[in-house]
Amino acid sequence: MTEELHEVHLVVNGVPHDVAVPARRLLSDALRHDLGLTGTHVGCEHGVCGSCTVLLDGAPVRSCLLFAVTASGSAVTTVEGLTDADGSLGPVQQAFKDCHGLQCGFCTPGFLTTITAGLRDNPCPTHDEAREMIAGNLCRCTGYQNIVSAVERAAELIAGTGESV
Partner 1 sequence: MTTRMFGESVARVEDDRFLRGTGRYVDDLGAGALQAAVLRSPHAHARIVDIDVSAVLDVDGVHAVFTYDDLQGPMAEPLPLLIPHPALTHGRTQYALAKDEVNHVGEAIAFVVADDRYLAEDAVDKIVVTYEFLPPVVGLAAARAAERLVHDDVPGNVAARLQQHVGDAPSAIAAAPHRLSLDLDIERSASTPMEGRGVLARWDTDSARMQVWTSTQTSTGVRAAVAAKLGLDLGQVDVITPDVGGGFGVKIVHPWPEELLVPLAARVLGEPVKFIEDRREHFISAAHERAQVQHVEVGFDDDGRLLGLDVEFWHDNGAYTPYGLIVPIITSTQLLGPYKPHNYRVTFESLYTNTVIVTPYRGAGRPQGVYAMERTMDAIAAYLGKDRAEVRAANFIQPDEFPYDHHLTFQDGRPLIYDSGDYPQLLDKITALIGWDGFEAERAEAAARGRRLGIGLACYVEGTGVGPYEGAHVHVETSGKVKVAIGLTTQGQGHQTAFAQIVADELGVPFESVEVVTGDTRRMPYAVGTFASRAAVMSGSAVQLAARKTKEKALRIAAEALEASVDDLEIVEGSVRVKGAPDSSIALGTVAVLSNPLRYAFDEASGAATQFSVGDPGKPPVADGEEPGLEAREFYSPERSTFAAGMHAVVVDIDPDTAEIEIVRYAVVHDCGNLINPMIVQGQIHGGVAQGVGGALYERMEYDEFGQLLNASFMDFLMPYVTEVPDGIEIDHLETPSPLNKLGIKGAGEAGVIPSAALFASAVEDAERLTPSGLAITAMPISPSQLFELRAQHRKDPS
Partner 2 sequence: MKPAPFAYARPTDLASAVEALAGNADAKVLAGGQSLVPLLSMRLAAPAMLVDINRLPDLDHVTSDASGVRVGALARHAAVLADDEARRIQPLLALALANVAHATIRNRGTTVGSLVHADAAAEMPVVLCLLGGSVDVVGPRGRRTVAAADLFLGPLESSLAHDEIAVEAFFPALAAHTGVAFREVARRHGDYALCGVAGLVRLEGPRIAEARAGYLSVSDVPTVIDLTPALSSSESLSDEALAAAGELALAALDPQGDIHGTAAYRAQLVRALTARTLRAAYDDAGRRREQP
Instruction: Give the interface segment with partner 1, choosing from 67-75, 101-109, 116-124, 156-164 (CB under 8 A).
Output: 101-109
Site residues for partner 2, window 69-88 (CB under 8 A)?
Answer: 69-70
> CB-side exposure of 14: number of CA atoms within 13 Å?
7
Pick what 2 binds: partner 2, partner 1, none; C-beta below 5 to 8 Å, kind-dependent.
partner 1
Task: Give yes or no for a contact between 111 and 130, defined as CB atoms under 8 angstroms apart.
Answer: no
Q: SS3 for 100?
A: coil
Nearest 5°: phi and psi at 8?
A: -125, 130
Q: How far is the CB of 125 from partner 1 (least distance, A)?
A: 13
Relative to beta strand 75-77, strand 5-12 is parallel
- State which residue, 73 or 100, has the beta carbon closest to partner 2: 73
Which one, of 75, 106, 112, 96, lies nearest residue 146 by Cα?
96
- State which residue, 78 or 137, has the beta carbon closest to partner 2: 137
- State which residue, 46 or 73, has the beta carbon closest to partner 1: 46
Site residues for partner 2, window 115-134 (CB under 8 A)?
Answer: 132-133
CA 88, 149, 130: angle at the middle one, nearest 5? 105
Pick what 62 binds: partner 2, partner 1, none; C-beta below 5 to 8 Å, kind-dependent.
partner 2
* DSSP 8-state symbol, 80: G
E strand map for 13-114: 15-22, 53-56, 59-62, 75-77
Instruction: Give the interface segment with partner 2, choosing from 21-29, 86-94, 99-107, 145-153 (CB under 8 A).
Output: 21-29
Query: Using CB under 8 A as the criterion, which residues of the chain lie in contact with partner 2 when the complex forms?
Result: 3-4, 6, 22-24, 26, 29, 45-47, 50, 53, 56, 59-62, 64-67, 69-70, 114, 132-133, 135-137
